[in-house]
Amino acid sequence: MSDQHAFDVDTAVAGAGPNFSATITDRWSIGPHANGGYVLSVCLQALGRVLDKPDPLAVSAFYQRPVVPGPAEVCVETARSGRRLATGEARLLQGGQELVRVVASFADLSQAAGPTAVSGSAPVLPPPQDCLDLFSGEQSRDSGLETPGIAGRLEYRTPRLPGWRQGSPSGQARAEFWLRLAGGRQADTMALPGLVDMAVPAVFELGHYHSTTIELSVHVRARPAPGWLACRVSTSYLIEGYHEEDFEIWDSTGQLVAQSRQLALLS
């Protein structure tokens, strides 16, 4: 039996490129469809096989149709490979139909150097062991949340029970919490772009529980230290069903390691 973590097994691609094969599993699904962050991670694995830099730096994904569990093809094209950046495009197809298109620039963040000015700060949270496990045991059954699928792949700790979880959304679409992959797999720069889309959407606190990502942009800022990830998510504008979601990930040392913005549509 393989000792690889589910994230690595389920995002793996096969082939020599530029066309790779992949298997989309149901372990990262929300209902019948694969989570967008998981699908993005599959595409980045394919890009990582052909680009000569180790860390995804700037990533944009466009979701055209839902992805379902089953075989998939990821077609990769290198746009440019330079001294500091390597840029490429990946298209994920099922049944010959393009479902997701990703453009990404990779870099080597271990070589990053230059001026730094950080005006924001990490969320101030109680230790994870003093927080609530939103998806454990009786809580998951009582709320109707299904722990199979993506909820079973994550560990999620929140300082207090959110309003939506109590049946009374607060009307304030923002949250701060701890997050990590279940099973002891430490996050790295290949996992961060997917993780920004795997947590509970901020619009749950507005009483809306079904949201579909249209476009997702991620900036990976540093290689994360081991440990829990402190996250901050917010939505400020819901207009005619479309809304943005901003996400920050800070590592266990208080370093900003990823930030993202997506445009999504209530469904």
- Measured between alpha carbons, how far is 50 from 190 in angstroms, rounded to an integer? 14
| CB of 177 closer than 8 Å to CB of 125 | yes
Task: Examine the domain organization and report whether 132 and 170 are in the same domain.
Answer: yes
**CATH at residue 219:** 2.40.160.210
Please say which residue of 109, 138, 163 terminates a domain. 109
Number of folded domains in the chain? 2
Residue 148 has a pLDDT of 57
Both tokens of 63, joined, read: 């979701």
Other beta carbons less than 10 A from residue 153's beta carbon: 22
- The pTM score is 0.93
Give 37's DSSP letter.
Answer: H
Task: Examine the domain organization and report whether 158 and 261 are in the same domain.
Answer: yes
Task: Examine the domain organization and report whether 180 and 216 are in the same domain.
Answer: yes
Residue 2 has a pLDDT of 59
High-pLDDT (> 70) share of the chain, %: 94
Q: Examine residue 236 and state whether it is found in any structural domain, yes or no.
A: yes
Please say which residue of 53, 82, 109 terminates a domain. 109
| CB of 116 closer than 8 Å to CB of 86 | no
| CB of 29 closer than 8 Å to CB of 149 | yes
Model confidence at 140, in pLDDT bands (50, 70, 90)? very low
Task: Examine the domain organization and report whether 79 and 137 are in the same domain.
Answer: no
Task: Examine the domain organization and report whether 54 and 104 are in the same domain.
Answer: yes
Task: Examine the domain organization and report whether 179 and 76 are in the same domain.
Answer: no
Residue 17 has a pLDDT of 83
**From start to end of 7-69, where are the E strands?**
13-14, 19-24, 29-30, 33-34, 55-63
| Domain housing 263 | 126-267
Task: Examine the domain organization and report whether 53 and 142 are in the same domain.
Answer: no
Residue 149 has a pLDDT of 83
Q: Is the pLDDT of residue 232 over 60?
A: yes
Better-scored residue on pLDDT, 17 or 117 = 117
Mean pLDDT computed over 195-201: 96
Please say which residue of 56, 83, 109 terminates a domain. 109
Backbone dihedral region of 203: left (phi > 0), alpha (psi from -120 to 50 degrees) or beta? alpha
Model confidence at 144, in pLDDT bands (50, 70, 90)? very low
Residue 206 has a pLDDT of 98
Task: Examine the domain organization and report whether 98 and 163 are in the same domain.
Answer: no
Q: CA end-to-end span of the chain, whole Å?
A: 40
Q: Examine residue 120 and state whether it is found in any structural domain, yes or no.
A: no
Both tokens of 194, joined, read: 């997917």
